[in-house]
Amino acid sequence: MKRYFGTDGIRGRVGESPITPDFVLKLGWAAGRVLAEGRNGGVLIGKDTRISGYMFESVLEAGFTSAGVDVGLLGPMPTPAIAYLTRTLRARAGIVISASHNPYPDNGIKFFDSDGKKLPDEVELAIEVALEAPLKTVESHQLGKAYRVQDAAGRYIEFCKGTVPWGLSLKGLSIVLDCAHGATYHVAPQIFEELGASVTAIGVDPDGLNINEDSGAVAPERLRQAVLDNGADLGIAFDGDGDRVIMVDSDGTVVDGDEILFVIAEHRRLAGVLNGVVVGTVMSNLGLEEALQSRGVKLLRAKVGDRYVLEMMLNEKCSIGGETSGHIICLDRVTTGDGIVSALQVLCAAVESGTPLNQLRKGMSKYPQVLINVRAAEPEALAENRKLLRAVKEVERELKNFGRVLLRPSGTEPVIRVMVEGREASKVEGLAQQLAQRVSDLAAG
C-alpha cells in the first residue's frame, strides 16, 4: 500500500503534511535517487499559477540536485505540456507542481516518466521506500545543475497546432476561452488565434490566489454567460493545470466530458479510424453508452481516474477515452489528458463536418444524473458499511433497472461521491438527496 501517492500524485493543503517544504525537498531527493538509477539525463519541473508553486519549485530543485540530477525549469505550463516536453526533450522524468482543479490553498506533486506517462505503481512505491532513508547529498562534483528551458511555451504551442490536420482553419469561428487563471493562460489564446479563430479570453490574469476561482472547467457559468453576451459560436473552459476541458455551445448549454468524448469518437468513427471501442469510467453517463452502442461502438468502463482510463485504453488498444469531468485522452495525439488538444479535436469535427457544436452534441441524449459529495472521515470504510449498501439496494429498486447508483470514495478528498442516474430528473434528484443524507448520517455516527 502506498502511503503518499494517490490516483493523481501527492496532493493536499499547503503547510499540512505531506504538502510541506521539508517533505517536498525530501521527495525530490528520493525521486532523484530512484529515477537516477542507471540512466542519463535530467528532469523537468513545471507548475501551475498558484502562489505556493514558487516555494515548491525551489525545494524540488534543491532535492533533485542534491541527489545528483540536473533540473530543467519550465515555469508555469499546463500539465500535458510537461508530459509532452518530457518526452521530446528526452528527460528522465517530468514533475508537475499542481493541485489541478483544487483552489489555491492546495497543491500537489505529479510525475511523468520518460515517455510522458504517469509513473507505474512500482516506481511510486520505490520513491516511498527511498523517503524513509536519511537524506544524503552526493559529493560536490556530482551535484546536479539547474537551468531554465528556453521557449517551452512555443514548443508546446506548435505541438498543439500540429494535432489537427494541416490546412485546417478556424477562421470565422468566434470562441470564448476561460483559462481559470491557470497554466493555460499564456498558451491557449495564442493557439486558437494562430489557427484563425476570433478569441475572447477570460481567466487570464493569474495572481497566485485566483486559480480556479469561480471560473474554468469546474465552474463554467462565467464562460456560459460570456458566450451568450458575445454571441460566440462556442466557449472552452480549462481547469487550473489544463488537463480538463468543458465546453459551452452557442445556445449557452454546457457540454461535459461525456458529450465531448462522444463528439470526438463519432468523428473518428465516420472517418474510419475508430477501432470500435471507447473507454469511459463508472461515472460515464448511460446516454453515452447507448449512443455509442447504437453506432456499433462499445463503451468500456474503468475506475475513476485518468491513469485507470489510460491503463484500460492501452490494454484494449483504444485511441479515445475520458471522464465526465473533462479529462479526455486522445491517445493517437497525446500520452495524457490534454484540455487544449481535446478541444481542438472537437473543433476539427465541427469544421470538417460543417456542423456546429450545438448540433454535434445532440447525437447523444444524457440521462439525468445527480452527483453529491458528502464529507466523511474514513470514506473507504464507510463505502463498505452494510447499512449503506442496503440503502443503495433500496434506491436501485426504486429505479427499476432504468438507472444506476454509484457510491465512490474520492481519491483526492475526504468525501464519498454519491451518484444517482435515471430517466426521470425529479426522481433522480430526490433519490440522490435521500442517499446522500443516509451517507451523512452514518458518517456522523
Q: How many CB atoms lie within 10 A of CB 424?
A: 14
pLDDT of 143 above 90: yes
pTM of the model: 0.92
Backbone dihedral region for residue 116 (phi beyond 0: left; psi -120 to 50: alpha; all else: beta): left
**How far apart (Å, rounded) are the C-alpha atoms in residues 280 and 137?**
44
Confidence of residue 39 (pLDDT cuts 50, 70, 90): low
What band does 38 get if pLDDT is binned at 50, 70 and 90?
low
User: What sign results for the dihedral spanned by CA atoms 402, 274, 265, 301?
Assistant: positive
Per-residue pLDDT at 346 exceeds 90:
yes
Residue 37 has pLDDT above 80, yes or no: no
| 139 φψ region: left (φ > 0), alpha (ψ -120 to 50), beta (else) | beta
Judge whether residue 312 has pLDDT over 90: yes
Q: Are 67 and 135 in contact (CB under 8 A)?
A: no
Q: Out of 52, 66, 98, 100, which one is annotated catalytic?
A: 100
What are the chain's domains? 10-150 (3.40.120.10), 156-363 (3.40.120.10), 369-444 (3.30.310.50)
Specify whether 100 is catalytic: yes
Per the prediction, the chain carries an average pLDDT of 95
Residue 178 sits at the vertex; the CA angle it makes with 176 and 182, to the nearest 5 degrees, is 150
CA 9, CA 18: separation in Å to the nearest integer?
Answer: 12
Evaluate whether 63 touches 93 at the Cβ level (below 8 Å).
no
Half-sphere exposure of 33 (CA within 13 A, CB side): 22
Which string of DSSP letters, residue by residue, matches 24-38? HHHHHHHHHHHHHTT
